[in-house]
Structure 1
């Protein structure tokens, strides 16, 4: 099987490339073009995709000729970013352009990494439903909608979309920040901290991408990352190497999040969403991947090792 990975030098892309080595007879790393777009709605995105220079599509199609599966890990993972054209170019226009080139090259499967952020604070579940609340989430949701449209036109190239939850690893800045928080006096949870937390290690995201490459009869609608048993309290305890976070009264925590969500600034909204996840977690509905047996029990040792390695410099 010949597999091409876009974004293979990025955080998720590196993990995916390592995981796919065992099924790839040939693993090809393809450089992603840098695109920008003013499109914020599907009709405008469709026009922007059609307006992309034919030479770019031809170059991508030539690079992908003979490839069986394309895995798109490219994009801008900036949850606190403002709504600029580069964000939408990377997260909305690029997936559509790559899918068009994949279909033209005769690729049989196109696996796209989206984000559970498109669901906002709602229940994490499979399907096309979305309720994005930040520019980053809006750009990811628009990318999904664009792929839904073009995949109906090119059905021979099977579309598979994964919505990872908040992804962690020793080398990631957001993980290091969370480790420092977990080991400080500021580590807090709302209530007893027993709610499911949408946090996942990058290796588990790579496992799901591997599954979407090799499994048959995968639904074409977005699939949410399985919940592996992480709770609001467990992640702080494990990354904190046993430190116990303090409990905040639920009404106080909810009031603070409501206040932050009303601030009309992308950075504040993004940070407020992170705090909301850390305090309250997020409801998680068993999806197709979970029903296929791909969820795993909480591996507290793996999280503890991640915390220690993050403090040591984040080397993989």
Structure 2
């Protein structure tokens, strides 16, 4: 007897990541519904506070009814604003909403709920992994970390719904402002890496992320509650050359570290307003290594696409 097709719902389907996941599902002939995320706010500063607020807020959102009859819910909603300061809206979108949606999915009998988080929750660590260790460094990364922690508490509760958090890395793709900015920097004289320029980079493609999320969500066996988007195999020099069409300048590591230290000190005096841009420079120079995780052990490593994505973005921006 054939298995009935899965019924999917993507929350936040009009955003950069959500629209790519919907396109991936449609390319596979899957039945997918889309839903705009409710706007929520929260002043909670702890995961316990977020979960308590979610239990109170879930009924008013109507998400339980919207999820009825759905097998898999993917939450791709959130505020991707690395340069913003702390706000109830930021915490509401990136911490409270995931918990509310997870509770609604559980009440509606959804089989698996997948939430999109960010590897930025591990901050300046030289190596990122799938551990619950977090070191957020900005309002944005703190809000994403709070969302992860809240889902961690909910996942520990007995339930028939599998709750999975996917940590996305530095995702690039067509039409994304950060990608357009990246290729412009890569083509400019300031494109540079910390010598020798062979450090692995977490820069990744939206193509690979969308494929991976769908594979995680539809995996027939148990999936860990936290998984990391796999590395696409490029170095800091590779991505700058793909995005800029030229080899980057190599700078002494000591000089790069000194500039970053000074930049973060100035940003701290400005309420961390510059932490996001400085972190992007840090990743450009030093990259960040990834520990192979569940994806590699399960054989769910997507085809690398970031080089082609950056080359296409370079041409789309009129760069040679």
Please report the TM-score for the alignment, with normalisation by the length of structure 2. 0.92
Unpaired stretches in structure 2, ≥5 consecutive residues: 1-5
The answer for the alignment partner of 1:289 in structure 2 is 295
Mean Cα deviation higher: 33-42 or 149-158: 149-158
The answer for the alignment partner of 1:138 in structure 2 is 142
1:267 Cα offset (Å): 2.3
Query: Is the aligned partner of 1:214 residue 2:221?
Result: no
Q: Are the counterparts in 1 of residues 208 and 303 from structure 2 also a CA contact under 8 Å?
A: no
1:247 Cα offset (Å): 0.9
Match of 2:256 among 234, 239, 253: 253
Query: Is the aligned partner of 1:308 residue 2:311?
Result: no
The answer for the alignment partner of 2:183 in structure 1 is 179
- For residues 184-195 of structure 1, the aligned pairs below 5 Å read 184-195=188-199
Question: SS of 1:212's equivalent?
Answer: helix
Question: SS of 2:128's equivalent?
Answer: coil
The answer for the alignment partner of 1:75 in structure 2 is 78
The answer for the alignment partner of 2:119 in structure 1 is 116
Please report the TM-score for the alignment, with normalisation by the length of structure 1. 0.93
The answer for the alignment partner of 1:10 in structure 2 is 15
Q: Are the counterparts in 2 of residues 170 and 307 from structure 1 also a CA contact under 8 Å?
A: no
Distance 1:306 1:292, change over 3 A: farther
1:312 Cα offset (Å): 5.5
- For residues 218-297 of structure 1, the aligned pairs below 5 Å read 218-241=222-245, 243-262=246-265, 263-264=267-268, 265-295=271-301
Distance 1:296 1:210, change over 3 A: closer
For residues 112 and 257 of structure 1, what CA distance do their matches in structure 2 show?
32
Q: How many residues align?
A: 309
1:71-116 deviations in Å (ceiling 9; x for gaps): 0000001112211110000000000000111111110100110000
1:180-221 deviations in Å (ceiling 9; x for gaps): 111111111111211001101111110110111221334333
For residues 39 and 248 of structure 2, what CA distance do their matches in structure 1 show?
42
Q: CA RMSD in A?
A: 1.7
Q: Are the counterparts in 1 of residues 117 and 167 from structure 2 also a CA contact under 8 Å?
A: yes
For residues 54 and 240 of structure 1, what CA distance do their matches in structure 2 show?
49
Match of 2:53 among 40, 48, 56: 48
Distance 1:202 1:297, change over 3 A: closer
1:231-262 deviations in Å (ceiling 9; x for gaps): 11011100112x11111111000111111222
1:284 Cα offset (Å): 1.1
Mean Cα deviation higher: 200-209 or 22-31: 22-31
